[in-house]
A and B are shown apart, each in its own frame.
Chain A
Amino acid sequence: MSINNDPIREIFTRRVQPVSRRGMLRHAACGLSTIGLANVLAQSSPLSLKNPHYAPRAKRVIFLFMHGGPSSIDTFDPKERLVRDHGKPLPIKRPLAFADQEAGPLMKSPWAFKNGGQSGIPVSDLFPHVREMVDELCVIRSLVGDGVDHGGAMLQMFTGSSTFVRPSMGAWTVYGLGTENQDLPGYITIKPTLSHGGAKNYGSAFLPGAYQGTPIGHGGMKVEEIKNEPIQYLLNKGLTPEQQRFELDMIQNINRKHQELRTVDPNLEARIQAFELAFRMQTQAPEIFAVDNESDATKKLYGIDDPTTEDFGWQCLLARRLCEKGVRFVQCTHPVKWDQHVDLFAKHTSNAAEVDKPIAGLLKDLKSRGLLKDTLVIWAGEFGRTPVSESGNGRDHNPYGYTVWMAGGGVKPGFVYGSTDEIGYHAEENRMHIHDWHATILHLLGLQHDKLTFNYSGRDFRLTDVAGVVHEKIFV
């Protein structure tokens, strides 16, 4: 049957399968072996699975980012000395970057700390729900960064460099490991920030664009707006899925003809496959984003029933759904709210109220679904805040020693690592620079940080630049 006689039939018989047998035969006829073609296709999909350097402890990451810089000494790192010396002058010299500002007096935390769980790790009253889950947390009290401003600190937290544009941690991760679900992006960032570097914080810089984070809305959007079209171009507003499949079959028919008239070019085949993947993605995605289909109990667990926790609860629940579907790296962002130069008490109270329950809900849910063991959950801001007050009732930025925590994914549960000095200004014991932290996270994912490189502009680049020490003591 020739094309001329029955084109429509021809269209349907030629529907593209992922590496069709027919394609194989045709390529084989062109002198390219089947294995060769498979290689070409594997190479042409930058997201296909790759072998890690070690057996991974964590398969995926959920990064809960608190934009603005939550105060460590008011959340996970209590300081007796501040209670004792409340109102007294700072006993040490201010770090250089702040040296020209007059330091306020020491300020104790306005929140009480209580020991949580079996481990008895103290957590302040800002996070009562997370406190209930503290036995799952590995609290690192000794993180150190170089950026004293939001822009530099965030870029470093996400890309390793506080000054240059480099690929983000999520991009490096997917570059190193590929992703399990070929029908979805490997790195998804929910409601990312538009400020302090904006898209550069989840960009792929010089890595191929396939590794950049796919944004779901942005920080300025309401969940309701995002639900309409979570990923750009995901929905066709004019055609039904059947009509679209019909159209796509014709595209592929024309592409196959085009391909036949040309010598083998892997790009042409890759693009044909990209269209098939896109179609599968748009078929799968609406189901994945249908957070509303979760049970009432689950929604409640994440606080989606309460206007205060609704937004971050939705983010956390969506993150879990994406992880279940094999997305490698998911980030949730609590927008730039934590920057309390003034009004620490009121604002930290309302900020924590928005995220506390959703985070605890996420941990519980991951645990009950058996996902927590190989999902690394990270909670972090771009820095902590000073033990001295600013403007009487706020705190300034402090990257010299602050707290982040991780859970699941091979980190010791109910464990405190590192410490800051008596007042919580500088990290003291087991200092963990951001480069070290990155090296440690990559290690958990099965990647050796100094082997995960990309040659660009004449040099091998890595997430950890020329530094990075893996802190194995936090591993299970």
Chain B
Amino acid sequence: MSKPLSLLASFALSVSAQTAERVEFFEKNIRPLLATKCQMCHNAKAKTSGLDMSTGDAFMAGGASGSLVNIDTPEQSLILRVLAYDGALKMPPTGKLKDDEIRKVREWIQMGAPWPGAEPRTANAAAKPSGTRKHGSAFTDSEWKFWAFQPVAKPVAAKSIDAYLREALAAKNLKPAARADKATLLRRVTFDLHGLPPTEKQLAEFLADSSKDAYAKVVERLLASPRYGEKWGRHWLDVARYADSTGNDEDHRYPYAWRYRDYVIDAFNHDLPFNQFVREQVAGDLMPAAPGEPVNRRGIIATGFLTLGAKAVAQQDKKKMLLDVYDEQIDVLSKTFLGVTLACARCHDHKFDPLTQKDYYGMMGMFASTKQFRDTEPNVAMLLFTPLVSKAEYEKYEAAQSVVANKGIDIGIVIDRERQAAQEKWLERLGEYMLAARAVRPKKNYDKTLGLNERVIEKWVAHFRETEVPRPWLDAFHKGDNDAAAIAKLQESAKENLAAWAKKMSAFRVRERKQLAEKNMLYEMPKLIDEKDGFFRDVFADAGPFGIASKAIDDFASEAGKKELAALRAEQKKLKDELPPEPDMACGIEESTPFNAKVFVRGDYNALGEDAPKTFPLVVAGKDRPIITQGGGRRELADWLASDTNPLTARVIVNRVWSWHFGEGIVRTPDNFGRMGERPTHPELLDALASQFVRNGWSIKKLHRQILLSDAYQMSSAPSAEAAKADPENRLFSRFPRRRLLVEEMRDGMLAISGKIDMTMGGTMQTGFGTDSESSNSRMSISPEEQTRRSVYLPLRRSNLPALLNLFDFGDATTANGKRIATNVAPQALFLMNSKFVAEQAEAVAKDAAGLPLKDRAERLYLKILNRSARPAEIDNAMSYTAAFQKQFPKMQEPSAWQSLARILFASNEFIYVD
């Protein structure tokens, strides 16, 4: 107990002893220093990093990194460490203070940091706890008891979905809507499960089938088709914020992202148990391979879930780049599986939910224990691609590649040598070349007997012609009053530079070999453009008078050199031809050295707080949550997420599935089950569905059946007058909600109706690696309007998503998106009225109907596009329209009139909305 006592004692002393002398010391030495060096950022207004140094009280209060002054042991005061420039945080940023100034600050701190006019200080000397929760880290009772964190309640008695819904309706004296008619129901369930309209044949069969289980048979047919995985896989890809490039700054391609997409589609088609699906996406790479397989191929591909997010690969602060990647993964993982926004706790404890910074960093440690990039050192960090073959096989491939690359270095070295030799020779005769070129302009000729290289002279002539860029180094030569001296000066420094350049290149080649051996990577060559001597840079650059591009080396190399090069090239070609094909790769994640995180105070990695051992969020995992001390912890995380007792995982996915069927979830904020999210409208139903789901082996298809076969799903979208009034938002599911087609459904639907759709599954349409030049069209995503494959297979460049997708509320593929919005804006109408795409589909449908008698054509169009029979009045209307169209516009022939009608139906509300 002696320490706090002595602290108090010294404190009392410092307060009482604020003598004139000390005040003067402050006014003379410290205040001016603070004013000129600190307060420009740390003032009451700017408060950079939460720190205000403009008053004594504010100064003592400290900032985001904690208190500045440690009264107990002044030597350990944060401000002194920062001023000493000995940690990661160095202040002021404009340069270290003079030693004398730092000494003065230390002296002042040791005095107890007297500041005239400041309130006597309380002992806020110790670092503040890292979190920002009002009540420290203890959760309140109501936080512990928040509904979402409670175990899933098992239903007391077996009760159907409809029973739950009817009870809630009955409580408001409401009845569910009537049953939808058959055609409506077929269109609804077909778009729902396949993202496509029913064909005429399917419609006819269903209408003709009067058996009791006609609808159930349709559901089974739809669930068994691979079209189902393409639609429902896409729902999952929304949550997994799937795209085929990094977005953000450089938008580098993820060349193997498609394997993850195909994995997702396959998982839905084969009804992979959802808990297994979760495990694989979080830690598939750590799960054992199937017997007989060298690696867990599927598991590795599945980790694409973690890696395919937006990344700023050109961020120069590579530490921050990595931390942003971990943050993105925490964000998407916590929203997707748990429905919580854990990423909100990066800089401070969560403002609304009982999630602490320690929870965040406890999970961050798991991601920091992985390898996320092949190499973070280069200017633009290199993405990690993971092989899907055994390590030995991949190493064999890498080794073979490395032999080819080494041969490339051999060639490079010969080119360097030959180039240098030619350049040295020319440089010897620099004066002759320059004078000859100068002579060409006024006189059109020069002394041809000198034996100078014609091409080089031409380039010199061109070089002298350029005047846009000032070249002060040529001034003396252009003046022409002392050529010999001017040339000698240029020649001398160019010789020095050329020799230095040769050294630089040979050093680079050595480094290059080393890189290749260590990382199997090649680095960029030094560039002449980076050279400081303007004359040298201009003249020896590839395009310059003495420049030789590597491609052109044979024109200037010695005979021996040419032979040597030819031989090396032949060897390289042979090696290349013999290269084994590139093994299958994925954009996955790899385990690395386990990392023990500390809390970053205010999210600033320079301000380390308390230890944050690897674990799961306290409020979800409970007080007996395990602390992971061995390994990276991802395996444990996966198992915990996928466990039958996790209160959130099953609830969240069951709610998502419900929401994708009904347009709204039982919890209407499917990505946020926290306090700022909505509460469940039918909590018992949610829990019943969740517990049955787990009992059914986490089978998504069983869940579909349960929902689709309910009366609720088969209701009409027309509310009763009472329900429209009492339940305007349809929170009680008193009718089936009308919904707009998703953009994929609209596009794929049109293509299916026109017959142009290409049903090829899987694979990639993306070509190339890396990124493209800044204004290049290849930065755009492939246009969906020029393709006929299903939308889910079109690659997405995250920075420039297809305009059509943006237009129809696709979302932005940057965070988990469990619920798309549906806007109604004019540019959407322009697409339907004016686009070539819609015109083409309309033309094809009209053409298909053209062989029919006039009176049957409208019926065909209605059946195909609106998936129902036309009413007599509609047939009359259609025939009158097409006739009037031709009469009114004599230039328009019959096909145009029917194309117009087909477009009208595509553009109609009835097509775009599903009842």
Indicate which residue in B45, B534, B775, B910 contacts A469 across the interface (CB closer than 8 Å).
B45
**Complex CA–CA separation, A199 to B802 (angstroms):** 10
Those 8 A-B pairs whose CB atoms lie nearest each other, nearest first: A151-B249, A458-B676, A198-B799, A220-B775, A278-B829, A392-B532, A92-B95, A195-B774
Knowing A7-B876, A244-B833, A458-B352 touch, does A209 contact B94 (C-beta < 8 A)? Answer: no
B326 at the interface (CB under 8 A from A): no
B459 at the interface (CB under 8 A from A): no
Contact between A7 and B821 (Cβ–Cβ < 8 Å)?
no
Min C-beta distance of A260 to chain B, whole Å: 12
Interface residues of A (CB under 8 A from B): 3-4, 6-8, 10-11, 31, 44, 46, 91-93, 95-98, 148-152, 155, 163-165, 185, 193-200, 203, 205, 208-210, 212, 214-215, 218-220, 231-240, 242-244, 246-248, 250-251, 253-255, 257-259, 262-265, 267-268, 270-272, 274-275, 277-279, 281-282, 335-336, 342-343, 345-346, 350, 391-393, 400, 421, 425-426, 428-429, 431, 433, 455, 457-459, 469
**Complex CA–CA separation, A332 to B470 (angstroms):** 31
| Residues of A with C-beta under 8 A to B776 | 194, 220
Min C-beta distance of A293 to chain B, whole Å: 23
**Complex CA–CA separation, A421 to B37 (angstroms):** 12
| Residues of A with C-beta under 8 A to B438 | none
Q: Which of B62-70, B300-308, B900-908 contacts A (4 or more CB under 8 A)?
A: B900-908
| Residues of A with C-beta under 8 A to B315 | 149, 151-152
Contact between B825 and A274 (Cβ–Cβ < 8 Å)?
yes
B161 at the interface (CB under 8 A from A): no
| Residues of A with C-beta under 8 A to B718 | 262-263
Contact between A210 and B823 (Cβ–Cβ < 8 Å)?
yes
| Residues of A with C-beta under 8 A to B525 | none
**Complex CA–CA separation, A31 to B824 (angstroms):** 24
Contact between B676 and A459 (Cβ–Cβ < 8 Å)?
yes
Task: Find the residue from B316, B803, B807, B873 having the highest chain A CB count within 10 A.
Answer: B316
| Residues of A with C-beta under 8 A to B351 | 459
B877 at the interface (CB under 8 A from A): yes
Indicate which residue in B352, B809, B907 contacts A209 across the interface (CB closer than 8 Å).
B809
Question: Which residue of chain B is the closest to A147 with respect to CB atoms?
Answer: B315
Knowing A93-B90, A220-B777, A278-B833 touch, does A7 contact B877 (C-beta < 8 A)? Answer: yes
Question: Which residue of chain B is the closest to A153 with respect to CB atoms?
Answer: B249
- Digit string of B781-805 for contact with A (CB within 8 Å is 1, else 0)? 0000000000000000101110100
Question: Which residue of chain B is the closest to A253 with respect to CB atoms?
Answer: B877
| Residues of B with C-beta under 8 A to A10 | 877
Contact between B877 and A165 (Cβ–Cβ < 8 Å)?
no
**Complex CA–CA separation, A152 to B310 (angstroms):** 13
Contact between A458 and B806 (Cβ–Cβ < 8 Å)?
no
Min C-beta distance of B857 to chain A, whole Å: 15
Indicate which residue in A165, A421, A457 contacts B94 across the interface (CB closer than 8 Å).
A421
Interface residues of B (CB under 8 A from A): 40-41, 45-46, 90, 93-96, 247-251, 310, 312, 314-317, 324, 335, 341, 344, 351-352, 468-470, 529-534, 669, 671-672, 674-677, 717-719, 721, 724, 738, 740, 774-777, 779-780, 797, 799-801, 803, 806-807, 809, 812, 814-815, 821-831, 833-836, 839, 873-874, 876-877, 880-881, 884-885, 888-889, 892, 896, 900-901, 903-905, 907-910, 912-913, 915
**Complex CA–CA separation, A148 to B318 (angstroms):** 12
**Complex CA–CA separation, A391 to B536 (angstroms):** 13
Min C-beta distance of B875 to chain A, whole Å: 10
Indicate which residue in A236, A242, A270, A425 contacts B824 across the interface (CB closer than 8 Å).
A270
**Complex CA–CA separation, A350 to B470 (angstroms):** 13
Contact between B830 and A263 (Cβ–Cβ < 8 Å)?
no
| Residues of B with C-beta under 8 A to A262 | 717-718, 738, 915
| Residues of A with C-beta under 8 A to B90 | 93, 96
| Residues of B with C-beta under 8 A to A274 | 824-826, 828-829
8 more A-B residue pairs beyond the given contacts A196-B250, A458-B341, with a C-beta to C-beta distance below 8 A: A96-B317, A148-B316, A151-B314, A197-B799, A254-B910, A263-B719, A391-B532, A458-B677
Task: Find the residue from B94, B671, B889 having the highest chain A CB count within 10 A.
Answer: B94
Question: Which residue of chain B is the closest to A428 with respect to CB atoms?
Answer: B40
| Residues of A with C-beta under 8 A to B834 | 233-237, 282
Contact between B344 and A246 (Cβ–Cβ < 8 Å)?
no
Contact between B740 and A267 (Cβ–Cβ < 8 Å)?
yes
Contact between A259 and B881 (Cβ–Cβ < 8 Å)?
no
Contact between A93 and B96 (Cβ–Cβ < 8 Å)?
yes
Min C-beta distance of B378 to chain A, whole Å: 13
Contact between A214 and B827 (Cβ–Cβ < 8 Å)?
yes
Indicate which residue in A6, A258, A281, A428 contacts B908 across the interface (CB closer than 8 Å).
A258
| Residues of B with C-beta under 8 A to A205 | 812, 814
